Amino acid sequence: MATINTNYQKLSPRYLFAEIARQVNAYQAAHPDTHLIRLGIGDVTQPLPNAAIQAMHRAVDECACASTFRGYGPEQGYDFLIDAILQHDFQPRGIHLSPSEVFISDGAKSDTGNIGDILSTQNIVGITDPVYPVYADTNIMAGRTLHSIPCHADNAFTGDIPSEHLDIIFLCYPNNPTGAVMTKEKLTLWVNYAIQHKAIILYDAAYEAFIQDDRLPHSIYEIEGARQCAIEFRSFSKTAGFTGIRCGYTIIPHALKSTDGVSLNRLWNRRQCSKFNGASYISQRGAEAIYTPEGQQQVRHTIQHYMRNAHYFHDCLEQLGLTVYGGQNAPYLWVSTPDGEDSWSFFRRLLTDAHVVVTPGEGFGPHGEGYIRITSFGTWEDSLEAMERIKKLYK
Amino acid sequence: MATINTNYQKLSPRYLFAEIARQVNAYQAAHPDTHLIRLGIGDVTQPLPNAAIQAMHRAVDECACASTFRGYGPEQGYDFLIDAILQHDFQPRGIHLSPSEVFISDGAKSDTGNIGDILSTQNIVGITDPVYPVYADTNIMAGRTLHSIPCHADNAFTGDIPSEHLDIIFLCYPNNPTGAVMTKEKLTLWVNYAIQHKAIILYDAAYEAFIQDDRLPHSIYEIEGARQCAIEFRSFSKTAGFTGIRCGYTIIPHALKSTDGVSLNRLWNRRQCSKFNGASYISQRGAEAIYTPEGQQQVRHTIQHYMRNAHYFHDCLEQLGLTVYGGQNAPYLWVSTPDGEDSWSFFRRLLTDAHVVVTPGEGFGPHGEGYIRITSFGTWEDSLEAMERIKKLYK
């Protein structure tokens, strides 16, 4: 008889954002006239850059005419987009990759979830705590043993280099949920650990566009040796508002090999050719347009908008006496709950008393307890209003 | 040390369509002035229905304005598309499904490849031979044992009901590559087998729009009991030319449960929420428009265009004395090689002597030997010219 993957039974039945939505919807239903301000889920609100809009219109028109129609594209993505990525995201930082080291996809969530396909289920996986739930859940689904890497204020939310052996390490910097960043010095320690242990770092750089401090690395390949031990994930979701358009990419250097010499690039290529049919042509043309001068300017404008919110939140919340992390090079703020209040209680208090939705830190892992996550993806008006409401709680 | 999924080492190093592309490109490079007619890969050539074009333009415009911008959509797809699917693809055939039984995706290839995530790797998987390579390759990647279901003229390319036990059975009808169809009577035998063996049928109905004979089932759920044993995959790729747009869907009925009562719908929902972020909003709006009266008419027009090619091929090739299957309710023709010539040899002869690219049947499995696959997705002019060229070989 057909049997299921029983690893799914080990997953927590409660999915964080579904649980928050349940509580928020229940409150809204009971108080239909209340205007809730949502600083919880990390979705963007600003429209797409005009360059991407125009490019997608052109792509749609191409599909209307037999002579310009595009059918199946390369599973790895179109060269026009891969070339733009290499030229703008890597070459200016001294990173020279081959086009065949780039795989365009429908987003970083798919890739960080699917990358496990090519890796043994026997690998021990290091997961930071708190963490974006996808890394943990997808590895539980595969039956891998997870090892927690606690991230707290004392290690700047970048984890202590483990004394034990790990095979795979998920790192996400700028970090979701803490908004923490990784310095070159600290990232070098992680790369050295990976080389020493023949481990693989899965580096999620989905938020690199929010980095304001020039000293911080945007790519793990800025670190010597990283090509031998790291896969990097990038996304257009937060950079350019592509959460609904779906496009991202993954870098797997040819130098990354298993201990018996198998190229992980080749395995991933085979995986993508068998289980994926390329990202939408329209989405890829939209992503390409982000790299035009006009597109770059528009992206910067949008990022500045969100970072203005983040900086404002940071100042306001500190003035209220709260301890605030992140929000300097990331769209997320990680805020200590007052007087050790538990994070779900503070979440509910902000919902009912300030009508502001945040994310309770405990939902990201045990070390998230005592914090809430605030996202800066709202409008400026909502951001001002949200802080006014929270200030009133402290009067 | 990090280790790979060694099942990947068991895959054939030769990927069928890559190998064909290699041989075709080498020939084209040596004969740059030759106009090759490509009846090999199953990609469409007709432009998208105008209804979809207009809907996608509107969707792009919505993304240009904050008040209509759409970010993350539901991982399961938007209700507007799910409702259109249920209303047009299922209700008229007496199949009443709940919206939560439909999962919109970026295409049937992703879903047929990823569905294994929720199933045990211990399941024995029945794969028809010849077969669309994705079913076999993705199960080899997962380490499952494959069991071949030979499909040949004597069983109308629909396989004999196995005498042994299988846990999972992949069926694709109208069939790729043979163009064969499954009658209600034969599909009932398969469903009864699955119920008796507590097996799951993974039914790929990507080509249902090509069915011309009203007696044939479009969905496996037209068969009594199928909700308890079958998952169905659908695609807009061939129906509406979405090979580059990326949209499809998968049906998992709530009645489909593992022997210990676990809902596969719930598992797949969890899988999609953790490893997928929804299909592109623009693609989903394009797919919705296919169900408008204008869209339906345009889709029928395109399908008729391809079926005109198919019927013409069928007649011409039979007149040449070849034995021809398929092409009546499917865009594929499955043609016996003359005088028992091996399929790669006939492929090369058609390439070099007629400048027509087909697919050697052996590439789809051992039982594909002795056949070639011809696709009808070209233009009418190319289709006429291709047959003229092949006729000349027989003069």
pLDDT in tens, A379-388: 999 999 999 9
Q: How high is the ipTM of this complex?
A: 0.97
- Considering CB atoms only, which of A18, A138, A282 is closest to B245? A282
pTM (2 decimals)?
0.97
Q: In angstroms, rounded to a whole number, what is the distance separating the alpha carbons of residues A103 and A127?
A: 24
pLDDT at B17: 81
In chain A, the percentage of residues whose pLDDT exceeds 90 is 95
pLDDT in tens, A90-113: 999 999 999 999 999 999 999 999
pLDDT at B3: 94
pLDDT at A41: 78
pLDDT in tens, B128-161: 999 999 999 999 999 999 999 999 999 999 999 9
Q: How confident is the model at residue B18 (pLDDT cuts 50, 70, 90)?
A: confident
pLDDT at B13: 75
H or E stretch covering A202:
strand A200-204
Terminal Cα distance for chain A, rounded: 64
Q: In angstroms, rounded to a whole number, what is the distance separating the alpha carbons of residues B33 and B11?
A: 37
In our burial notation (b when 16+ CB lie closer than 10 A, e otherwise), range A140-168 reads: bbbebebbebebbeeeebbbeeeeeebbb
In chain A, the percentage of residues whose pLDDT exceeds 70 is 100
pLDDT at B144: 98
Q: Helix A50-62 to helix A281-289 angle, to the nearest 10 degrees? A: 150
pLDDT in tens, B256-270: 999 889 999 999 999
**In this complex, do B275 and A113 lie within 8 Å of one another by their Cβ atoms?**
yes
Q: Chain A closest CA to B157's CA: distance in Å?
A: 24
With contacts defined as CB-CB under 8 Å, which chain A residues touch B138?
Answer: 274-275
Q: Say yes or no: B197 contacts chain A, CB-CB below 8 A.
A: yes
pLDDT at A259: 82
CB A159 within 8 A of CB A393: no
Bridge partners of residue B359, in order along the sequence: B373
CB B325 within 8 A of CB B334: yes
Q: Say yes or no: B393 contacts chain A, CB-CB below 8 A.
A: no
Q: Which has the closest alpha carbon to A354: A392, A327, A321?
A: A392
Residue B335 has pLDDT above 90, yes or no: yes
H or E stretch covering A360:
strand A359-360
Give, as one character, the DSSP assignment of residue A119. Answer: B
pLDDT in tens, B82-129: 999 999 999 999 999 999 999 999 999 999 999 999 999 999 999 999
pLDDT at A83: 98
Q: Which domains does chain A have, with CATH numbers?
A: 12-48+294-393 (3.90.1150.10), 50-292 (3.40.640.10)
Residue A395 has pLDDT above 90, yes or no: no
What are the strands, taking DSSP E only, across chain B? 37-38, 102-105, 124-129, 145-150, 168-172, 200-204, 230-235, 248-251, 324-326, 332-336, 356-357, 359-360, 371-375
The mean of the pLDDT values for chain A is: 96
Q: In angstroms, rounded to a whole number, what is the distance separating the alpha carbons of residues A208 and A331?
A: 10
Q: How confident is the model at residue B394 (pLDDT cuts 50, 70, 90)?
A: confident
In angstroms, what CA-CA distances link A93 with A88, A90, A214, A330, B4? 9, 5, 11, 20, 30
* Chain A residue with the nearest C-alpha to that of B132: A274
**In this complex, do B120 and A60 lie within 8 Å of one another by their Cβ atoms?**
no
Range in A18-27, B130-139, B174-183, B186-195 with the lowest mean pLDDT: A18-27
**In this complex, do B63 and A41 lie within 8 Å of one another by their Cβ atoms?**
no
**In this complex, do B47 and A53 lie within 8 Å of one another by their Cβ atoms?**
no
What are the strands, taking DSSP E only, across B117-225? 124-129, 145-150, 168-172, 200-204
**In this complex, do B109 and A243 lie within 8 Å of one another by their Cβ atoms?**
no
Q: In angstroms, rounded to a whole number, what is the distance separating the alpha carbons of residues A207 and B20?
A: 40
Range in A31-45, A225-239, A301-315 with the lowest mean pLDDT: A31-45
Around B117, how many Cα atoms within 13 Å sit in the side-chain half-sphere? Answer: 32
Q: Say yes or no: A113 contacts chain B, CB-CB below 8 A.
A: yes
Q: Which has the closest alpha carbon to B269: B120, B112, B100, B119?
A: B100
Q: Say yes or no: A163 contacts chain B, CB-CB below 8 A.
A: no
pLDDT at B299: 98
**In this complex, do A43 and B200 lie within 8 Å of one another by their Cβ atoms?**
no
Enumerate long-range contacts of A158-165, CB under 8 Å, 24 or more apart.
A158/A182, A158/A186, A159/A128, A159/A190, A161/A189, A161/A190, A161/A193, A162/A126, A162/A193, A165/A124, A165/A197, A165/A199
Residue A284 has pLDDT above 80, yes or no: yes
pLDDT at B284: 98
Q: What secondary structure does DSSP assign to A74-111, as a single string?
A: -TT--HHHHHHHIIIIIGGGT----GGGEEEES-HHHH
Range in A4-13, B9-18, B110-119, B348-357 with the lowest mean pLDDT: B9-18
pLDDT at B26: 96
pLDDT in tens, A42-81: 899 999 999 999 999 999 999 999 999 999 999 999 999 9
Token pair of A136, please? 């943990």
Q: How confident is the model at residue B251 (pLDDT cuts 50, 70, 90)?
A: very high
Token pair of A30, please? 């009971």
With contacts defined as CB-CB under 8 Å, which chain B residues touch A267?
Answer: 4-5, 8
pLDDT at A260: 81
Residue A1 has pLDDT above 90, yes or no: no
CB atoms within 10 A of CB A96: 10
Q: In angstroms, rounded to a whole number, what is the distance separating the alpha carbons of residues A117 and A102?
A: 18
The percent helix, strand, coil of chain B (3-state, each to 5) is 45, 15, 40
CB atoms within 10 A of CB A395: 4
With contacts defined as CB-CB under 8 Å, which chain B residues touch A295?
Answer: none
Question: Which residue reads 């449960």 in tokens?
Answer: B257
pLDDT at B260: 81
Q: Which has the closest alpha carbon to A302: A387, A242, A249?
A: A242
**In this complex, do B15 and A270 lie within 8 Å of one another by their Cβ atoms?**
yes
pLDDT at A251: 98
Provide Rg for chain A, Cα atoms.
Answer: 21
Per this entry, what is the length of chain A? 395
pLDDT in tens, A182-202: 999 999 999 999 999 999 999
Q: In angstroms, rounded to a whole number, what is the distance separating the alpha carbons of residues A333 and A356?
A: 15
Bridge partners of residue A139, in order along the sequence: none
**In this complex, do A41 and B72 lie within 8 Å of one another by their Cβ atoms?**
yes
Residue A122 has pLDDT above 90, yes or no: yes
pLDDT at B146: 98
